Amino acid sequence: MKDIIISDDIIYIGADDKDIELFENQYNVPNGVAYNSYIIIDKKIAIMDTIDKRRTNQWLENLDKALNGRNLII
């Protein structure tokens, strides 16, 4: 994934899904969809939305890259 930095502390960590044919099982999406997800890194970390489970590995890779070695406590 190409890094998409919104600001110094907001980073896009979403993923594209070019394989999906129907969004929410009802809308045709011939070009796929983008699952938008963002991480806000400050004294604490906030994740804004996650993505479809079919793209979990990509999302976790993007999250790990954005954290840049910082631990995420759940």
Which DSSP string do the residues of 13-67 spell out, in sequence order?
A: --EEESS-SEETTTEE-TT-EEE--EEEESSSEEEE----GGGHHHHHHHHHHHH
Residue 42 lies in a domain: yes
Residue 43 lies in a domain: yes
Q: Which residues contact 64 (CB under 8 A, 6 or more apart)?
A: none
pLDDT at 73 over 80: no
Split into its structural domains, the chain has a count of 1
pLDDT at 60 over 90: yes
pLDDT of residue 17: 94
**CA angle at 10 for the pair 8 and 14, rounded to the nearest 5°:** 140
Residue 36 lies in a domain: yes
| 17-32 pLDDT, tens digit each | 999 999 888 999 999 9
Domain that holds residue 9: 4-67
pLDDT of residue 41: 93
pLDDT of residue 67: 93
Residue 72 lies in a domain: no
pLDDT at 1 over 80: no
